[in-house]
Amino acid sequence: MTLEVFFHAHPETAIAFSGGVDSAYLLYAAARYARRHRAYYVQSSFQPGFEREDARRLADALSAELTVLELDVLAVGGVAGNPANRCYLCKTAIMSAIWARARADGFSVLLDGTNASDDDGDRPGMRALRELGVLSPLRLCGLRKDEIRRRSREAGLFTWDKPAYACLATRIPTGEPITAEKLHAVEQAEAFLASLGFTDFRVRTQAGHARIQLRQAQLPLLLEHRAEVAATLRRWYRTVSLDLEVRG
């Protein structure tokens, strides 16, 4: 099945839109093939500000309607305690909020950007999608991440080479309570590193300590800015260290 065939069968769709590679291409396809569609972005303390701006930028480029919903995710039962099933609880809350607004807007089909490269074991929130009846056209059409990036580049989408970005809550180890202050610290620390030219990296945190994870190719950049990075991140963390198990 192709996306054109999918949207012919589902001509009016709501799209759970994150501004990432996959949902961006899904929105592009909907703009081409669907009779009516609308993107829904959920803003919470788990998402950094740049994700919202990317979502707005892409929606504007595609002349797509975008609805931004606010969600106090830390008030969702169980989430702040950061249990092993946090992603399931969070995904259920997010998709339920989108569903409620989408139905009020007259939609009976909700889509998300899960692709054929995503296994159930890799995506703890997948069960929530099944339970809520959310469809994943990219996965149904057998489109994997590399193919989506290639098609996105050909379509001129600026998201085609955007690094994967997991939510801010993933920086905090399971079992350690999540607070707004911890999430803000991670967002500020990662924004600072991004301003220095770092890409595809993480600032992991545990009990007030920061651990930087980045790709091997960016080690020279870290050494160049070592003192500046340490001094700045000490605004939010007691210690700052480098994870030596860097990725290739």
Give the pLDDT confidence of 153-210 residue by residue, as tens digits.
999 999 999 988 889 999 999 999 999 999 999 999 999 999 999 998 999 999 999 9
Average pLDDT score over residue span 8-35: 96
Q: What would the pLDDT profile of 44-60 be if each residue is shown by its tens digit? A: 999 998 899 999 999 99
The C-alpha atoms of residue 89 and residue 226 are separated, in whole angstroms, by 38
**All domains in the chain, ordered by first residue:** 3-161 (3.40.50.620), 179-242 (3.30.70)
- CB neighbours of 227 closer than 8 A, spacing ≥ 6? none
C-alpha distances (whole Å) from 17 to each of 14, 36, 68, 96, 112 are: 9, 15, 10, 14, 7
The C-alpha atoms of residue 55 and residue 67 are separated, in whole angstroms, by 10
The C-alpha atoms of residue 160 and residue 162 are separated, in whole angstroms, by 6
Residue of 112, 111, 113 lying closest to 144 (CA atoms): 113
